[in-house]
């Protein structure tokens, strides 16, 4: 099972240090998503991360910034891949809101995030569009659950065909994100 950690949607002092401490204990792929950031502000945030974290991270949006910071890849909403070719030299991930969007992606894509599988933990207004659950059919790329994922759902996600998950609120909503991250990674180890 693969695990991604998404950056907090809200800025707070020490986020980069928490990320680096978590990465030291259990290397993972970081999803850098900062709603409302300008390119300039994003570049400053990326510069504040250790190079080894950046090199295993994917950036939401702007593949050119991802390339210039030697990041592993980028993530865009599924419609981007209807209009644009897969970007070479980077892992390409799609952010999908339906099974139909997943099925329309090019087979060359590195992976996709299906969102929101559960009600969001960081944005209470975002509710799951999959009230009956999701059972994935075989696709030529990995699919990761995103949105409202906590340690309690990992076993169910694996049983339903997901390759892993992306967590956000189940880490950043806790007073001590390191403790929350350690609980999640222990669960991933048990299931792997």
Q: What pLDDT, in 10s, does the model give residues 73-89? A: 999 999 999 888 888 89
Q: State the pLDDT confidence band at 136, using cuts at 50, 70 and 90.
A: confident
Q: How many beta carbons lie within 10 A of that of residue 90, not counting itself?
A: 19
Residue 130 has pLDDT above 90, yes or no: no
What's the pLDDT at 65?
Answer: 96
- Predicted local confidence at residue 129, as pLDDT: 65
> What is the C-alpha separation between 139 and 5, in angstroms, rounded?
23
Burial 137-166 (b: 16+ CB within 10 A, else e): eebebebbbbbbbbbebbeebbeeebbbbb
d(CA 152, CA 82): 34
Which has the minimum average pLDDT: 45-54, 70-79, 92-101, 117-126?
117-126
Can you give the pLDDT at residue 26? 85
- Other CB atoms within a 10 A radius of the CB of residue 190 amount to 11
Q: Is the model's pLDDT at 128 over the cut of 80?
A: no
Peptide bond into 157 cis (omega under 30): no
Q: How confident is the model at residue 192 (pLDDT cuts 50, 70, 90)?
A: confident
Residue 189 scores a pLDDT above 90: no
Q: Burial-class residue 178 by CB neighbours within 10 Å (0-12, 13-18, 19+).
A: middle
No. of helices (H) and no. of strands (E), the chain: 9, 8
What is the average per-residue pLDDT within 54-69?
95
pTM: 0.90
In the structure, what pLDDT confidence band is assigned to residue 117 with cuts at 50, 70 and 90?
Answer: confident
pLDDT of residue 132: 54
Contact 142, 164 (CB under 8 A): yes
CATH 3.40.630.10 assigned to domain 2-191? The reply is no
């Amino acid at each position: 099972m693969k695990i991604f950690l998404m950056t907090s949607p809200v800025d707070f002092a020490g986020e980069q240090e928490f990320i680096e401490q978590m990465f030291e204990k259990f290397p993972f792929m970081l999803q850098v998503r900062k709603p409302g950031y300008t390119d300039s502000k994003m570049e400053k945030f990326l510069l504040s991360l250790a190079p080894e974290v950046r090199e295993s991270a994917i950036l939401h949006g702007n593949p050119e910034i991802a390339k210039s910071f030697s990041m592993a890849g980028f993530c865009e909403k599924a419609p981007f891949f209807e209009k644009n070719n897969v970007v070479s030299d980077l892992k390409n991930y799609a952010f999908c809101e339906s099974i139909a969007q997943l099925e329309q992606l090019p087979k060359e894509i590195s992976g996709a995030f299906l969102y929101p599988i559960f009600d969001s933990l960081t944005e209470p207004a975002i509710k799951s569009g999959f009230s009956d659950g999701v059972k994935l059919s075989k696709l030529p790329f990995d699919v990761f659950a995103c949105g409202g994922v906590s340690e309690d759902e990992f076993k169910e996600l694996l049983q339903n065909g997901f390759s892993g998950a992306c967590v956000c609120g189940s880490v950043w909503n806790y007073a001590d994100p390191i403790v929350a991250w350690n609980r999640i990674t222990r669960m991933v180890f048990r299931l792997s």
